[in-house]
Amino acid sequence: MSVPLIEVRGVTKHFVKRLDLAGKIARRLGADVDEEVVHAVDAVDLAVRPGEVVGLAGESGCGKSTLGRMMAGILPPTDGEILFEGIAASEMSGAQRRAATLAVQMIFQDPFASLNPRLRVEQIIGEAPLVHGLVDRGGLSDYVDDIMRNVRLDPALKRRYPHQFSGGQRQRIGIARALAVRPRFLVCDEAIASLDVSIQAQVLNLFMDLREEFDLTYLFISHDLSVVEHIADRVVIMYLGRIVESAPTEQLFSAPRHPYTQALLADVPRLDQRKHDFSPVAGEIPSPLDPPPGCHFHPRCPHAMPICRTQQPVLREIAPGAFSACHLDGNSGT
Partner 1 sequence: MSVLEVAGLRTHFFTRAGVVKAVDGVDFTLQRGEVMGLVGESGSGKTVTGFSILGLVDPPGRIVGGSIRYRGEELVGAPDERLRELRGNRIAMIFQDPMMTLNPVLRIDTQMVEAIQAHERVPKKAAWERARDGLGQVGIPSPEERLRAYPHQLSGGMRQRVTIAIAFLNAPELIIADEPTTALDVTIQAQIIYQAQKVCRERGAAMIWITHDLAVVAGLADRICVMYAGRIVEAGPTDDVIDRPLHPYTVGLLGSVPSANKRGQRLNQIPGMTPNMLALPKGCAFRERCARAGDACLAEPGITEPAAGRALRCFHPHGIEVPA
**Kind and range of the H or E run holding 40:** strand 36-48
Indicate whether 111 belongs to the interface with partner 1 (CB under 8 A): no
Q: What angle do CA 76, 11, 109 make, to 5 degrees?
A: 60
Nearer to partner 1, 182 or 223 (CB): 223
Indicate whether 253 belongs to the interface with partner 1 (CB under 8 A): yes
Distance, CA of 1 to chain centre? 24
Q: How far is the CB of 165 from partner 1 (least distance, A)?
A: 10
Options 43-51, 85-93, 103-111, 225-233: segment touching partner 1 (CB under 8 A): 225-233
**Which residue, 210, 197, 260, 207, is CA-closest to 62?**
260
Indicate whether 275 belongs to the interface with partner 1 (CB under 8 A): yes
**Kind and range of the H or E run holding 37:** strand 36-48
Please pick, from the candidates 117, 280, 320, 330, the single residue that binds partner 1 as defined by CB under 8 A: 280
Options 6-14, 21-29, 42-50, 205-213: segment touching partner 1 (CB under 8 A): 205-213
**Which residue, 46, 64, 43, is CA-closest to 189?**
64
Site residues for partner 1, window 67-96 (CB under 8 A)?
A: none
Indicate whether 310 belongs to the interface with partner 1 (CB under 8 A): no
Coil, strand, or helix at residue 155?
helix
Indicate whether 164 belongs to the interface with partner 1 (CB under 8 A): no
Indicate whether 208 belongs to the interface with partner 1 (CB under 8 A): yes
What is the distance in angstroms between the CA of the first residue and the CA of the last residue of the chain? 27
Options 32-40, 107-115, 279-287, 320-328: segment touching partner 1 (CB under 8 A): 279-287
Indicate whether 205 belongs to the interface with partner 1 (CB under 8 A): yes
Nearer to partner 1, 93 or 279 (CB): 279
Options 124-132, 135-143, 259-267, 301-309: segment touching partner 1 (CB under 8 A): 259-267
* 148: CB partners within 8 A, 6+ apart: 121, 125, 154, 155, 157, 158, 176
> What's the rounded Cα separation, in Å, for the pair 294 and 296?
6
8 Å CB contact between 137 and 79:
no
Indicate whether 284 belongs to the interface with partner 1 (CB under 8 A): yes
Please pick, from the candidates 9, 97, 223, 316, the single residue that binds partner 1 as defined by CB under 8 A: 223
Provide the 10 A C-beta neighbour count for residue 88: 12
DSSP for residue 19: -
Please pick, from the candidates 196, 213, 215, 290, the single residue that binds partner 1 as defined by CB under 8 A: 196
What is the binding site for partner 1 (CB under 8 A)? Answer: 59-60, 166, 168-169, 196-202, 204-205, 208-209, 223, 225-227, 229-231, 249-250, 253, 263-264, 266-281, 284-285
